[in-house]
Chain A
């Protein structure tokens, strides 16, 4: 693929081109960013891993995206959330807001920890990552609604959701709630940290929205047979 393009390069063409979102030939393999995989010595490799290594020495590999790191602090769910928060491709601002949110949550929880009586101290969760994941779990809907046309009318039919769809809905609701329904002058990280802490203790508007969706699905269970998949 690259060999055919070098003839067309002109002096004004940029040398570094964006290739990641172009369609790769299926011949190309995915890159492996995790460090542990490369630290396994020769002797401990399973036959599949040996085969994979041999394949990698022959085949070309796709370019890694900018968001992939070999860092131990890499969190795919958090990266997805950052991408959803991002506006106009400005990931620096989005990442900055998320780090401020995590710091803010940690400070609030640590202060709560210091004020709590002895018995309650062990229960206060101070890890902002654990709070984030738990809050997101609490916001994920179990069942969703789809608009299905039957006999000229559209009915809201309860349908099962895939894991990806559930995660997407939880994040989307969280972000729209913080953008729209809060006081104009509070900063995004403050709004996000308040909403995440509320979702962690199963209160707040996002969890309420999830419950309302469940109630709608429950009330429409008569139409469940309209689903054909």
Chain B
């Protein structure tokens, strides 16, 4: 396992783009020449190690760039909206290597995949970087060739649903066609290469005239779910079941990573109502029901990485961030036992790194524009105003 990942990191090390810190006149010239020039000085806040498998404690606090070719396949959904705006403005996606993500990746490297799945839960105060750590881990899983099941926000499935159809498969459950078909489309983008390799082990009957036979590739099932929106929730259920059965398999086995953001939305209450105005419980939604089965640790050959989120959550106080408070009794009992991974605010070193990244002139971000923000006084004020909270700092630097 370790040998495999080392041999994979060498091609990345040589192919990454290298830019010097102090450009001045020769900076533009070097960029015109190409990528082969080595830097005379090194960046304190950037690292050339773009492969998550090769990152270690020495890279803590440094930013690595997600290669642009990977970006749209690995993250069609799942990134926080402000980060997506930042990527569009800066023309590059840089992620900071932080302690929680490195810890998760080291657990994933050393876990035994013949045993039942381990569940990891990222928790922390609002804005401390849980979703970004999750995305870092998802990038690692996808570079290692795992099949990634990334649910960008479980809260989106329990609120604001315009169309709630009664399920054809089970009388008392409800389907959500729009959400299910959107998710299937993004799933298809992420895992293109797996869709033809995995074959179905069971026959699925959709209507009197339509069925998907045993042995057909998974891609066909997903395409059907995207085109026939009415049965897309059931298709999601079928896809999850197939992946669960085949994940630990010895012949052509793949590792399955289930990454759920805002997992506390699966237990608790929903804001959806039935036609007689009575509230819908989460169990009565097909998507939630199937996802809960996925999060159980009764299958092997993969990992479940989850994040708590107060931001989109329903009926939870804004000061709540601990697993016990956000998951509730039922959720905690279902998730138990799990590996808790706390995500803290920026340390001093991480803050420095973030500040230097926003101040970076060489990559021509020109982000921190206010003349006073580039002084010591301004930096102390930024520390005071943001309390080193990553998202608050990002919002402050956006208008300064």
Chain A interfacial positions (CB closer than 8 Å to B) = 71-73, 99-100, 102-103, 106-107, 110-111, 113-114, 118, 121, 126-130
**Nearest Cβ in chain A — how far from B19, in angstroms?**
15
A72 touches B365 (CB 8 A): no
Q: Does B271 contact A (CB under 8 A)?
A: no
Q: Assess the A107–B377 pair: CB atoms within 8 A.
A: no
Decide if B6 is an interface residue (CB 8 Å cutoff).
no
Q: Classify the secondary structure of B's interface with A.
A: helix
The minimal Cβ–Cβ distance linking A93 to chain B, given in whole angstroms, is 15
| Interface flag for B75 (CB, 8 Å) | no
A103 engages B366 (CB within 8 Å): no
By CB atoms of chain B within 10 A, which of A72, A103, A111, A118 has the most? A72
Q: Is the CB of B28 within 8 A of A103?
A: no
| Contacting pair A72 B375 (CB below 8 A) | yes
Q: Which of B91, B365, B369, B378 has the most CB of A within 10 A?
A: B369
With A127-B369, A129-B370 as given contacts, are A111 and B89 in contact (CB-CB < 8 Å)? Answer: yes
Q: Which residue of B lies closest to A36 (CB)?
A: B377
Q: How far is the CB of A11 from chain B (nearest CB, A)?
A: 33
Residues 353-379 of chain B, each 1 if its beta carbon lies under 8 Å from chain A, else 0: 000000000001111011111010110
Roughly how many angstroms separate A99 CA and B395 CA in the complex, as a whole number?
9
* Chain A residues with CB below 8 A from B103, complex form: none
State whether A127 touches B370 (Cβ < 8 A).
yes
Cβ of A134 to closest chain B Cβ, rounded Å: 14
- Tell me the bound Cα distance from A121 to B365 in angstroms: 12
Q: Indicate if B36 sits at the interface (CB-CB under 8 A).
A: no
Complex: A111 Cα to B89 Cα, angstroms: 6
Chain A residues within 8 Å of B89, by CB? 107, 110-111
Size band of the B side of the interface? 20 to 34
A72 to B91, CA, bound (A): 30
Residues of A within 8 A of B88 (CB): 111
Q: A73-B400, A99-B398 are in contact. List 7 more A-B contacts (CB 8 A).
A: A73-B373, A106-B399, A107-B89, A110-B89, A113-B366, A114-B364, A130-B369
> Are the C-beta atoms of A72 and B381 separated by less than 8 Å?
yes
Min distance, Cβ B118 to any Cβ of chain A, angstroms:
41
Docked complex Cα distance between A71 and B384 (Å)? 11
Within the complex, what minimum Cβ distance (angstroms) separates A102 from chain B?
4
Checking A72, A111, A118, A129 against B369 with a beta-carbon cut-off of 8 angstroms, the contacting residue is A129
Tell which of B28, B367, B400 touches A110, judged by Cβ atoms closer than 8 Å.
B367
Does B370 lie within 8 Å of A73, measured CB to CB? yes
Chain B residues positioned under 8 Å from A73 (CB to CB): 370, 372-373, 378, 381, 400
Contact residues of B between 320 and 375, Cβ < 8 Å to A: 364-367, 369-373, 375
CB within 8 Å for A72 and B366 given contacts A110-B89, A114-B91, A128-B399:
no
Residues on B with C-beta less than 8 A from A106 are 367, 369, 398-399
How close is B318's CB to chain A, nearest CB, in angstroms? 17
Query: Is the CB of B24 closer than 8 A to any CB of chain A?
Result: no
